[in-house]
């Protein structure tokens, strides 16, 4: 017989079940149509229990974003680590990054719906983009001064946002008829920045 869960383990398990239930409901009915009460019911807990773990359903999405951030940041660090990158290397990197989007397509769809409705989610998304761009330390350290580093960060943020938008429409929304051409265009833009 397994040992009973500690209070901390039980709290973590309840939180994970709420996130799982929210993810499923976001996929089935969309973010706007999903209420905190519906999430609690799907997780088999009370609405009060939901609010012990999250202040709002937007906070659930912020948690999903934070769960994805480590993988996104690792991808951008891998791009930054390319030595003397060429178009083929950056294109291959973008295709690998697209696989992360495909694996987490439902989370990205929920994030997009929440971005349109929740200022806190939009603020967290932009903060995440800035953090991942700032993690490209090779690019930033190569700059001759702080003004150039600041400009390189701005370019990295803008390009990361472009990847996000393009991948959202191609992968999440299914408008992938020109995906290889879009990836090549993005690779060309990244190559200019990485060659600075």
Which fold is adopted by the domain 58-194? Tetracycline Repressor; domain 2 (1.10.357)
For residue 2, pLDDT over 80 is answered with no
Tokens of 79: 């791009």
Question: Does 196 score more than 70 pLDDT?
Answer: no
**pLDDT of 48:** 96
1-54 CATH: 1.10.10.60
What is the crossing angle of helices 179-194 and 87-103, to 10°? 120
Is the pTM higher than 0.85? The answer reads yes
**Domain boundary assignment for the chain:** 1-54, 58-194
133-141, Cβ contacts within 8 angstroms, sequence gap of 24 or more: 133/76, 133/157, 133/160, 135/73, 135/76, 135/77, 135/80, 136/76, 136/77, 136/79, 136/80, 137/80, 138/80, 138/81, 139/80, 139/193, 139/194, 139/196
Is residue 57 within 8 Å of 22, Cβ to Cβ? yes
Q: Which two tokens stand for residue 53?
A: 């773990």
pLDDT tens string 99-157: 999 999 988 998 899 998 899 999 999 999 999 999 999 999 999 999 999 999 999 99
């Amino acid at each position: 017989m397994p040992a009973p869960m500690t209070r901390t383990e039980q709290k973590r398990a309840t939180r994970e079940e709420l996130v799982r239930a929210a993810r499923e409901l976001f996929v089935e009915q969309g973010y706007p149509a999903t209420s905190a009460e519906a999430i609690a019911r799907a997780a088999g807990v009370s609405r009060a229990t939901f609010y012990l773990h999250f202040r709002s359903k937007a906070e659930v999405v912020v948690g999903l974003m934070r769960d994805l951030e480590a993988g996104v940041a690792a991808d951008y660090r891998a791009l930054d680590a390319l030595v003397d990158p060429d178009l083929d290397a950056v294109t291959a990197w973008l295709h690998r990054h697209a696989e992360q989007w495909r694996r987490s397509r439902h989370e990205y769809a929920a994030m997009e719906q929440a971005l349109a409705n929740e200022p806190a989610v939009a603020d967290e998304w932009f903060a995440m983009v800035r953090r991942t761009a700032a993690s490209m330390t090779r690019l930033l350290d190569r700059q001759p001064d702080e003004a150039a580093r600041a400009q390189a960060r701005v370019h990295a943020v803008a390009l990361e946002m472009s990847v996000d938008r393009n991948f959202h429409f191609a992968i999440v929304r299914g408008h992938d008829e020109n995906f290889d051409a879009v990836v090549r265009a993005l690779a060309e833009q990244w190559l200019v920045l990485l060659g600075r």
